[in-house]
A and B are shown apart, each in its own frame.
Chain A
Amino acid sequence: MTTPTRRQAFEARQRRRATRIAAASTGAVILALITVIPLAPGWAAVKRSFFNAEVFAKTFPGLAQAFLMDVAIFLWCAPLIAALGLIVALMRDIRSPALYPLRLVAILYTDVFRGLPVILVIYLIGFGIPGLGLPRPWNSPYLWGSLALILVYAAYVAEVIRSGIESIHQSQRAAALSLGLSQTDTMRFVILPQALRRVVPANMNLFVALQKDVALLSFIGPVEIFRQAGVYKSLMANFTPYVGAAIIFLAITIPATRYADHLMNKQRKARS
């Protein structure tokens, strides 16, 4: 390795200085928060209610156990959402006039399910459809609650994939067709591989959001982490279990968001 030039040495010094300043200012802010917040008159009560070590220790294992339910629901919903989202996106791209009804269905579907709050869909499908008198196990809240999540999130994913498809320049389609590829093959071998790659970060964001919205299924019965925290809260008249649940969620969602950011950065660099 050669000795650094004067310019490189200067830049290294500048970087070290910037790091030192950033560390010092972050430390000062944290210190200020730690000393200032406990000075608030209600701090003792808030601490007992939200940051109660005894309650935390008592409830955390139960919460972690309940979180497995969230993970399971996420795992069986995610692939179905990806598949349905792709199908709907392709339906919206249909250009044959005879198949226009399919396209119309896809448009209506995305409009309706993107326009409704998730919790509303979960209620309507989760209680409504089993209310028709389906026998067990076909009236399970797990089944219909998951379907509600899948329908809503697939609508979002479909729109994201469609934006990816439309971002591929029209000339590529023309080129592929002129090479003799069929419409289907053009989509499969030329458009989709590029389009899907482009929308990976956006879809990652959706799946982080899905991980959190799984908790909404608790409204129709399943005892996952949010509901379990609510039970503990009620029995102990203490909000600490919610803080415990928040920590568990963050342990999953922060790494996932960081990963999505990383992908996005990589993509930006590749493009520029």
Chain B
Amino acid sequence: MKLWITTAAALVLATAATAQNDCAAGKTLSDGTLTIATGNPAYYPWVMNDAPESGEGYEAAVAYALAAEMGFSADQVTWTRTSFDQAIQPGAKDFDLNLQQFSITEDREKMVDFSEPYYASAMAVLTTKKVVEAGATATPDSLKSLIWGADANTTAVPMLGELIQPEKDPLLYGDNADVTAALQAGQIDAALFDLPTALYLSAVVVDGGTLLGQFPAARTENPDEFGILMEEGSALKPCVDAALTALKDSGKLAEIEATWLEEATAVPVIK
């Protein structure tokens, strides 16, 4: 009997170990599962219907592809939710990986670890048809004269200063919903978002919403790149980076992007 138990235990351990590639084994929060965090709620088109378990939406799909590359099957992935502040607070984290459009910045790198970028985002100007009718155009001068808003927790805030240099101080809000409420109330003329989010907001959330233009992702200085956030000094980082590189090389990442992120060629480029 005892022998039987030992054999069974050894077998379970062995399968758990071989289920992941050697890199990630034993480095996750709980052995044999990969705990991934997303936002609460998670937004379209990053996660569809706020249900990351479905694997639908760009980040959900990337998460499952990444897990597979690291040797975790789909049912070895568990999801959790964190806010931005929870993701950066000191102390033990309750996730292995956290992906919710975190932009990689030098200052943030000092406090937490980021993977290689999994998406480079263009920044887009969300506004309303009313503002466009009143004469706003996608030229630097016209943009400067608008009243700007942004989500205070995003890198859109410093980018406003770098890319547009508005004449009036921008108004900042706690989340997307508040930014759109202010846009709707006419308190701000325009807001800066990453392009996929801006496309979604203009099509679904904002009445008469439209995109005035985009700053392409490939602009030379300070591109906005999303990375997967991990605890500072995370042992998983090399595995995640290797898996991401593999996904990029095999074209899988581009495929996921084509599936979930809309073509945005119709949005004019601001020079």
- Pick the contact of A220: B89, B155, B178 (CB < 8 A): B178
Are B112 and A237 in touch, CB under 8 angstroms? yes
- From 88 to 123 in chain A, residues with beta carbon under 8 angstroms from any chain B beta carbon are none
CB distance from A233 to the nearest CB of B (A): 8
Chain A residues whose C-beta falls within 8 Å of the C-beta of B108 in the assembled complex: 235-237
In the complex, what distance in Å separates the CA atom of A46 from the CA atom of B111? 11
Q: Which residues of A contact B171 (CB under 8 A)?
A: 141, 221-223
Q: In the assembled complex, which residues on chain B have CB atoms less than 8 Å from the CB atom of A127?
A: 178, 181-182, 185
Q: Quick one: which of A211-231 are within 8 Å of B by CB?
A: 218-223, 227, 230-231
Closest 3 interchain pairs by CB?
Answer: A221-B171, A45-B90, A130-B185
Q: Contacts A141-B171, A238-B111 hold; do A45 and B91 have CB atoms under 8 A apart?
A: yes
A203 part of interface (Cβ distance < 8 Å): no
Residue among A45, A231, A235, A237 having the largest count of chain B Cβ atoms under 10 Å: A237
User: Could you list some 17 contacts between A and B, CB below 8 A?
Assistant: A45-B91, A48-B90, A48-B111, A127-B182, A130-B186, A136-B186, A219-B174, A223-B170, A234-B84, A234-B153, A234-B154, A235-B107, A235-B157, A237-B111, A238-B107, A239-B85, A239-B89
Name the distance in Å between A12's Cβ and chain B's nearest Cβ. 50
Number of interface residues of A (CB under 8 A): 32
B91 partner residues in chain A, CB cutoff 8 A: 42, 45-46
A218–B188 CA distance with the chains assembled, in angstroms:
14
Q: Is B209 in the interface zone, CB < 8 Å from A?
A: no
Cβ of B156 to closest chain A Cβ, rounded Å: 10
Q: Is the CB of B90 within 8 A of A46?
A: yes
Q: List the A side residues contacting B187 at CB < 8 Å.
A: 130, 139-141, 220-221
> Contact partner of B152 among A45, A50, A140, A230, CB < 8 A?
A230
Q: Which residues from chain A sit less than 8 Å from chain B, CB to CB?
A: 42, 45-46, 48-50, 127, 130-131, 133-136, 139-141, 218-223, 227, 230-231, 233-239
Given contacts A234-B152, A238-B88, 5 further A-B contacts (CB under 8 A): A48-B90, A127-B181, A219-B178, A235-B108, A238-B111
Q: Which residues of A contact B89 (CB under 8 A)?
A: 49, 239
- B172 lies within 8 A of A221 (CB): yes
Inside 8 A of A237's CB, which chain B residues have their CB? 88, 107-108, 110-112
Q: Can you name the residue of chain B whose Cβ is closest to the Cβ of A230?
A: B152
Q: Do A139 and B186 touch across chains, with their CB atoms under 8 A apart?
A: yes
| A223 engages B172 (CB within 8 Å) | yes
